[in-house]
Amino acid sequence: MMLHLLLFLHLTSVIIWVGGMFFSYFCLRPAAIQLLEPKLRLPLWVATFSRFFKLTAIAVVTIIATGIMMLLQVGMKFAPVGWHVMLSTGLLMSAIFIYVCAVVYPRLCKQCNEVSWLAAAATLNTIRKLVGFNLILSIIAIAAATFAR
């Protein structure tokens, strides 16, 4: 029962984080580029990230905590190789997320406040690349969790 609850929380949080990144990258971004000029588009991203990053922070903490709890029930030594891959990719994804929240996003906010649209667009592009990289890592983590048992 406890294991089911941990897996439920783990997967719900994964869906929130990875689903949010997928939606931002493949749906919101192209639509915003098509319809909005920079002075509207860039503040839209600041407002969107401000909400998404708070919810994602909760999801990231939950993923790591539940993942480690499930891992420890089996023990690092006996865990399938896929779980080790998941742990490594999960920690790398979390480090990238923290970097975006702590360093890149505040820069985007500052540039938007200063009305420096060109600089803000370049910073947003950095976030796009990091989110794209995290999406690739998440595919690897999901593949490792499901195939490499």
Residue from the set 28, 36, 71, 135 that interacts with ligand HEM by CB under 6 A:
71
Structure tokens at 69: 């709890």
CA quadruple 9, 15, 80, 130: dihedral positive or negative? negative
3-state secondary structure of 114: coil
Of 18 and 112, which has the nearer Cβ to ligand HEM? 18
Residue from the set 41, 42, 49, 90 that interacts with ligand HEM by CB under 6 A:
90
Residue from the set 86, 100, 108, 124 that interacts with ligand HEM by CB under 6 A:
86
Of 63 and 100, which has the nearer Cβ to ligand HEM? 63
Binding segment for ligand HEM (CB under 6 A), chosen from 27-35, 40-48, 99-107, 141-149, is: 141-149
List alpha helices for the chain, DSSP H: 2-23, 29-35, 38-74, 81-99, 105-113, 117-147
Q: Count the alpha carbons within 13 Å of 92 in the hemisphere toward its beta carbon.
A: 16
Of 35 and 77, which has the nearer Cβ to ligand HEM? 77
Return d(Cα 84, Cα 109) in angstroms, integer. Answer: 36
Question: Would you tell me which residues interact with ligand HEM (CB under 6 A)?
Answer: 7, 10-11, 14, 18, 63-64, 67-68, 70-71, 83, 86-87, 90-91, 93, 138, 141-142, 145-146
